[in-house]
Amino acid sequence: MTIRPCIIIPVYNHHTFIEHTLEQIRIYDVPVFLVDDGSIAECATLLRELAESNPQTIHLLRLDRNQGKGAAVMEGMRFAAGKTFTHALQIDADGQHNTKDIPQFLEQAKQNPDSVICGKPVYDSSVPKGRLYGRYLTHFWVWVETLSFDIKDSMCGFRVYPLAATLDLINKNRIASRMDFDIEILVRLYWKGLKIITVETPVIYPENGVSHFAMVKDNIRITKTHTRLVFAMLGKLPCLIKRKMTS
């Protein structure tokens, strides 16, 4: 299967980092969809200028108000699919992800076009300990929700989605629209039968970086999402057990 990949970057007031991120991505000659998630005027103006100066490779979508990372990514997916792209590589705007690994992610997607290619972070000393330890609780619940260890990390926003299968899922389900999006979409794609392929990749937290993870609010959202997923998983137990026994 010949894939036609693009890159989707959700942006919310990342004007101090997005130009550098795009500069690193540009060498791979892959079309980029910037989704402005209701940013302030300074960021919105910069994104418009970047798109206007690179109309062949950078496409800009703007949401009128901030709707959350997940909402921005899903809007980007719909737009990209409408432009006949088959796969979308999601990457953060804030410089956390190692853009040098983009070829590896896309090669894995080429070799496994029906799978989700998912980053597993390799952290350095810059990672906040609260964020690091909190991930382990989510790992536990994802393993419960899937009855497997196939998803090594469900919170890393560096991944490649097959668009047809992903949008089919999105159109049939209410998917979390904020920081819990990365978790829910991956669990539900696993339930749908997609294989999850893991790529280890360095993740850093840049000095003066812009993170919109709200420790209290987003952890509450994630907890609610896990609760929904656990209850939904109960109805899928026969299929999950059968999958586990035949794998």
- pLDDT of the residue at 128: 62
Alpha-carbon separation of residue 192 from 23, 78, 114, 123, 230 (angstroms) = 36, 19, 11, 30, 15
Residues of the chain below pLDDT 70: 125-134, 206-216
- pLDDT of the residue at 130: 59
CA distance 223 to 218: 8
Closest to 77 (Cα-Cα) out of 147, 153, 177? 177
Closest to 223 (Cα-Cα) out of 215, 233, 211, 235? 215
Can you give the pTM of this predicted structure? Answer: 0.91
- Amino acid at site 176: A
CA distance 74 to 134: 25
- Amino acid at site 140: F
- What is the β-pairing status of strands 5-11 and 87-90? parallel
CA distance 47 to 49: 5
Contacts of 39 (CB under 8 A, 6+ apart): 11, 12, 13, 14, 15, 47, 66
CA distance 166 to 83: 16
Domains in the chain, please, with CATH?
A: 5-246 (3.90.550.10)
165: left (phi over 0), alpha (psi -120 to 50) or beta: alpha
CA distance 94 to 99: 11
